[in-house]
Amino acid sequence: MLTERICQGGGPCGPSGSCERERGNVMTEAELRALFDEIDTDGDGRINIVELAEGFKSEGAQGHLAEEVRKAMEADANHDGVLDFEEFRTLLK
């Protein structure tokens, strides 16, 4: 689910792999929150690098895990090592 929703352009991807952002189809706020909560396994309101890696691993991105995590962590605007919901929203919008 995670790798299906984040494309190389940084936006959510559709079933065909095309960037939903480019097609004008974006996730709703509720869908974003649900995905964030799914990845935030400890429930602290922040996604740390371990949770992010686990999210990607559960989707089979092990071959490119480090690259996927690195790309996603570029959204960490305040450089605190975690993604809060606002940073996560920026990543997927």
How far, in Å, CA of 4 to CA of 7, rounded?
7
Query: Contact, 3 vs 63, CB < 8 A?
Result: no
Q: What is the pLDDT of residues 43-86, one digit of tens each?
A: 999 999 999 989 888 776 666 788 888 889 999 999 999 999 99
Domain count, the chain: 1
Higher-confidence residue: 12 or 78?
78
Residue 75 forms part of a structural domain: yes
Q: What's the rounded Cα separation, in Å, for the pair 81 and 78?
A: 8
* Strand partners of residue 19: 13
Identify whether 14 is part of a domain: no
Q: Flag whether 85 is in a domain.
A: yes
The residue-averaged pLDDT of 4-14 equals 51
The reply to whether 39 falls in a domain is yes
**How confident is the model over 20-31, as pLDDT tens digits?**
445 555 788 999
Mean pLDDT across 30-50: 95
Domain that includes residue 73, residue range: 28-92
Structural domain includes residue 21: no
| Nearby residues of 21 by Cβ (< 8 Å), 6 or more positions away | 7, 9, 10, 11, 12, 93
> Looking at residue 61, which CATH number applies to its domain?
1.10.238.10
Find the length of the chain. 93
pLDDT, residue 57, reads: 82
What does pTM read for this prediction?
0.70
- Does residue 69 sit within a domain? yes
Question: Using 50, 70 and 90 to split pLDDT, how confident is the model at 42?
Answer: very high
